[in-house]
A and B are shown apart, each in its own frame.
Chain A
Amino acid sequence: MANLPKRIIKETQRLTEEPVPGINAVPHEDNLRYFDVSIHGPSQSPYEGGIFRLELFLPEDYPMCPPKIRFLTKIYHPNIDRLGRICLDVLKSNWSPALQIRTILLSIQALLGAPNPDDPLANDVAQKWKEDEKTAIETARQWTRTHAMS
């Protein structure tokens, strides 16, 4: 705790004091830069009803570098790969130190509600999404039931 930057402490406090609906982030006791995150699948999306577990890590140079985040729960989504890595611009080149854990998690939740198959990370899923969106969405629902509701 000693060397934890004030920013991280404050962000953590604010996350618990004013939680974002449908998003939960709790730091590990032994590593306050490492968070267990859960995100509720947005309604009107194939992920509705699912609770998706993620892990988030604030690297040494955060907030000058983006947090590292990935899904632990399996998810069928054109912008999320099989290891749970997320293709989201604000997590990479469009990161800004003015963004926060909170805003990033909201972005990810929004990504669940608005998949972007034209900019895929998981190639095969994106392909499917483009060719046959209906089936793809059904698969996403299926996966949500199988992996994110238990």
Chain B
Amino acid sequence: MGNTATKERSASPHGSRNRGESSSMSGRHQYDSRSRSRRDLGEATLFGLAGSSREHRERDREAERAAREARRQERERERQREKERSLREESVDGGFLVTHGVYTGPEDFKDKIVRQLIIERRLAPFFKGLRDHEDNWTDAQLYAAVKELPIPGPDAEPPKEEVPKLSEKSLSTDLLTVPLAPRSRSHSYTSDGSGPSSTCGNILGGRTRSKTLSISSPRNPTLPNTAGPQEINIPSRFVEGRPIEAVLYQNASECPICFLYYPPYINKTRCCDQEICSECFVQIKRADPHVPDSHDSNPNQEPSNSIADRLVSEPATCPFCKQPEFGVTYAPPPFRRGLVYASTVPDPASTTTLPTSDLSTPSGASPSSRTSPPLSPSGRRRFILPPTSPEVVTTDQIRPDWAQKLASARAHAARRAAAATALHTAAFLMSNPAPGSSSGGGGSSSGSYSRRLMRRARENSGNSGRTADESPSPNHSGSRTPQEGTARGPSLLALGMGSGRERERHSPDVSIEQNLINMGFISRRETSRERQHAHDVSGGNRERTHGRHRIADLEEMMLMEAIRLSLVEEEERKKREEEKKAKEAKEQQYKSSPLPGLTPAISSSSSSSTPHPPPPSAALTAESSSLSSPPEGKGKSPERPQPPPPVTLNSSPTSSSASSENTADEHRDIDANEPMWNFQSLAAMITNREGSVERDVNGGTEGVEVEVGKQGVQVSETETVEECKGKGKERDVEAGAA
């Protein structure tokens, strides 16, 4: 009776519980403290990033949204019009090519593919579903039920065939070939690009084209009509002189999902041979991309995997037997009415292109079957048809865009996570205990952040107390206090939360810094990722658990929620903007000397062969010490000349991506040192950037999940952000001077 937890919301199997618990259940207390803390003003400089350009962007966004909505509605209307036309004019086997609205949501299956599958008789047409049905209904009653007329008495006369000649002819030829005007793609909105032998892929291609066509010239008669398949209509609505409705619905059966009555010729599942109407079938699809249930996932799975990486999209399962890769088959009635692809009709041999041709032998081949009342489809199938079987139509076949959906869901998750990473970073930046104050209360020296964060800071230092005590740079603690919360840089710089504390340590080069702000932002994530790996390798279990709690805590903070979205925006905008700047900067300054004190995060992206001095101590210690003394590495300020270790050219364009796969080995370099970057590596990074953005973003995702929990990682993030912030300051200063 599995009451399997579904943790759609969760970032990780473990973290989720904590999170769910703390956010949804232990509400009040935390909430209160949260709100109280918010009243503290200084922290709010954070939000200085919401600049006026933001409002512009909001407007733009809104306009864009409106335009999108308008386009969507237009498409919807178009689809609706086409549906109505099709319902009037087209049918197959007495059913239809479009849905009847049993389900009210927007239709996201590929209607053209479905249309083709129906005409090819691989999928049951959309028969009209009856709300009521009696086994003893007469033809006239059945006919009325299908036509949604009042049900007449049992002695009512069913409609008679009005054009006997037509039916005579069809009877005589047994092919009922009464071609209407052959339809070409140029005349039929729905038939373009879909030949009987064309694959779904072709249809897709055709669809794109047709979309353009239908918008610019929906009925362009000048188009050559050779490309499209010709459809031939067999318009008679009578079988053996009886209305087709009566013949079809005489032995109606109830679809087990929508509970409506259908002809016995509806689809059967490929697995358990259950009936399912097309209306229900086209509703069944993959679940939206999600993080797998903890039960399904491998317990040994790297917890560091980002949400984005772990998002999965599983093929729909059979609603009845849960067999994966849900698919159905269609056993059509023995007669044939409605649309047929031209090529399949005149020449029975050509029907071999129809996978179901063996099941649906054109009536001409077996006159007896035509004359007999509709047979119940032959007895139950005893075997499972593989999803690849040609007669099987799977849910993926009518929604071939699932892969694309998964990809975009991943990208979306990555973006969100990246923004969240920035927030975590910001929070930790603010909450880091002042170096040297072993009590951890040092965080209060900033005097501006929320109590809540201070509490966190205390926790943090409590856990890393041992290292905090060792932190070697008390001087920096002094530098950080005074201006907390006073300055506010625009946009990303706001991550620095207005602290001007590191101003003095920054490299003077403005444009480079501008680049780096962005670069650092990105590469920081890689750093985190590396650390994360390193930690996993070195088994930082305790820290990890602890980290999860912290993550849960953090994520609750409305504070962060408030700026998260703007960060996403800001990030994207910056990326675009600074990409250009970066290139320019690279060119201008290619020859200048190695830049002192670029961010460790960036350096960490360089290859592990970078000749850093060996870490002073164990990795953790090193991390913590850098935690307490963020300036240490990056701050090669002019007044603190310190020969930066030269960066090797190993930081080639590939390095940034390569580094993300690195593990513990590199860990030390990253943690313990202030690896330097020179322009070549920077340039490499810049050039590499475009390609690595996605990957970077992914890295960031992971950061959110795990690394924040680990102290070392926190440290690194903090450093980086401080770096960014500092650089921003620097830029501000420079700008002011200029």
A and B directly contacting (CB within 8 A): yes
CB–CB A111/B25 < 8 A: no
CB–CB B8/A92 < 8 A: yes
Give the shortest distance, in Å, between A100 (CB) and chain B (any CB): 10
- Within 8 Å CB of B618, what residues of A? none
Give the docked Cα–Cα distance between A41 and B129 (Å).
39
Give the docked Cα–Cα distance between A33 and B259 (Å).
16
Please encode chain B, from 271 to 315, with 1 for each CB lying within 8 Å of some chain A CB and 0 for all others.
000000000100110010010010100000000000000000000
Please encode chain A, from 2 to 20, with 1 for each CB lying within 8 Å of some chain B CB and 0 for all others.
0101110011000000000
Give the docked Cα–Cα distance between A5 and B103 (Å).
8
A27 at the interface (CB under 8 A from B): no
Given A64-B283, A97-B319, A123-B25 in contact, is the A6-B4 Cβ separation under 8 Å?
Answer: no
- Within 8 Å CB of B17, what residues of A? 120, 123
- In A1-55, the 8 Å CB interface with B consists of 3, 5-7, 10-11
- Within 8 Å CB of B1, what residues of A? 107, 110-111, 114
CB–CB A6/B258 < 8 A: yes
CB–CB A10/B25 < 8 A: no
Please encode chain A, from 66 to 83, with 1 for each CB lying within 8 Å of some chain B CB and 0 for all others.
000000000000010111
CB–CB A82/B319 < 8 A: no
Total count of chain B residues near the partner, CB < 8 A: 35
B378 at the interface (CB under 8 A from A): no
Q: Which residue of B lies closest to A119 (CB)?
A: B5
CB–CB B3/A116 < 8 A: yes
Q: Which residue of A lies closest to B5 (CB)?
A: A119
Please encode chain A, from 111 to 132, with 1 for each CB lying within 8 Å of some chain B CB and 0 for all others.
1001010011111100000000
CB–CB A98/B6 < 8 A: no
Q: Is the interface of A mostly helix, strand, loop or mixed?
A: loop
- Within 8 Å CB of A88, what residues of B? 3-4
Give the docked Cα–Cα distance between A89 and B6 (Å).
6
Q: Which residue of A lies closest to B287 (CB)?
A: A93
CB–CB A6/B25 < 8 A: no
The answer, among A98, A119, A122, for a CB contact under 8 Å with B4, is A119
The answer, among A61, A93, A110, for a CB contact under 8 Å with B6, is A93
Please encode chain B, from 449 to 467, with 1 for each CB lying within 8 Å of some chain A CB and 0 for all others.
0000000000000000000
- Within 8 Å CB of A122, what residues of B? 25
- Within 8 Å CB of B284, what residues of A? 64, 97
CB–CB B259/A10 < 8 A: yes
A136 at the interface (CB under 8 A from B): no
The answer, among B2, B25, B103, B258, for a CB contact under 8 Å with A61, is B103
- Within 8 Å CB of B102, what residues of A? 5
The answer, among A6, A60, A63, A124, for a CB contact under 8 Å with B104, is A60
Give the docked Cα–Cα distance between A64 and B280 (Å).
9
- In B76-129, the 8 Å CB interface with A consists of 102-105, 129
B256 at the interface (CB under 8 A from A): yes
Give the docked Cα–Cα distance between A111 and B295 (Å).
18
A94 at the interface (CB under 8 A from B): yes
- Within 8 Å CB of B137, what residues of A? none
B24 at the interface (CB under 8 A from A): yes
Q: Which residue of A lies closest to B21 (CB)?
A: A123
CB–CB A121/B320 < 8 A: no
CB–CB B259/A98 < 8 A: no
The answer, among B5, B24, B256, B293, for a CB contact under 8 Å with A98, is B256
- Within 8 Å CB of A81, what residues of B? 24-25
B221 at the interface (CB under 8 A from A): no
Please encode chain B, from 178 to 218, with 1 for each CB lying within 8 Å of some chain A CB and 0 for all others.
00000000000000000000000000000000000000000
- Within 8 Å CB of A92, what residues of B? 4, 6, 8
A96 at the interface (CB under 8 A from B): yes
A87 at the interface (CB under 8 A from B): yes
CB–CB A6/B260 < 8 A: yes
Give the shortest distance, in Å, between A47 (CB) and chain B (any CB): 15
Give the shortest distance, in Å, between B389 (CB) and chain A (any CB): 22
B20 at the interface (CB under 8 A from A): yes
Give the shortest distance, in Å, between A94 (CB) and chain B (any CB): 7
Give the shortest distance, in Å, between B109 (CB) and chain A (any CB): 13
- Within 8 Å CB of A123, what residues of B? 17-18, 20-21, 25
CB–CB A60/B105 < 8 A: yes
Give the shortest distance, in Å, between B279 (CB) and chain A (any CB): 11
Given A114-B1, A122-B25 in contact, is the A63-B257 Cβ separation under 8 Å?
Answer: yes
Give the docked Cα–Cα distance between A94 and B103 (Å).
21
B576 at the interface (CB under 8 A from A): no
Give the shortest distance, in Å, between B548 (CB) and chain A (any CB): 13
Give the docked Cα–Cα distance between A119 and B16 (Å).
12
The answer, among A87, A98, A119, for a CB contact under 8 Å with B320, is A98
Give the shortest distance, in Å, between A37 (CB) and chain B (any CB): 18
Q: Which residue of B lies closest to A123 (CB)?
A: B21
CB–CB B257/A98 < 8 A: yes
Give the docked Cα–Cα distance between A93 and B6 (Å).
7
B131 at the interface (CB under 8 A from A): yes
Give the docked Cα–Cα distance between A11 and B258 (Å).
10
- Within 8 Å CB of B290, what residues of A? 93
- Within 8 Å CB of B129, what residues of A? 6
CB–CB B6/A87 < 8 A: yes
B583 at the interface (CB under 8 A from A): no
- 5 nearest A-B pairs in the assembled complex, by CB-CB distance: A89-B4, A92-B6, A7-B259, A98-B319, A96-B319
Further contacts, 9 of them, CB under 8 A, given A10-B259, A119-B295, A121-B5: A89-B5, A92-B8, A94-B4, A96-B322, A97-B257, A97-B319, A116-B2, A119-B4, A122-B25
Could you list 14 examples of A-B contacts with CB < 8 Å?
A5-B258, A6-B131, A6-B260, A7-B257, A10-B259, A63-B257, A89-B4, A93-B8, A93-B293, A96-B319, A97-B280, A97-B319, A119-B4, A122-B25
Binding site for B on A (CB under 8 A): 3, 5-7, 10-11, 60-61, 63-64, 79, 81-83, 87-89, 92-94, 96-98, 107, 110-111, 114, 116, 119-124
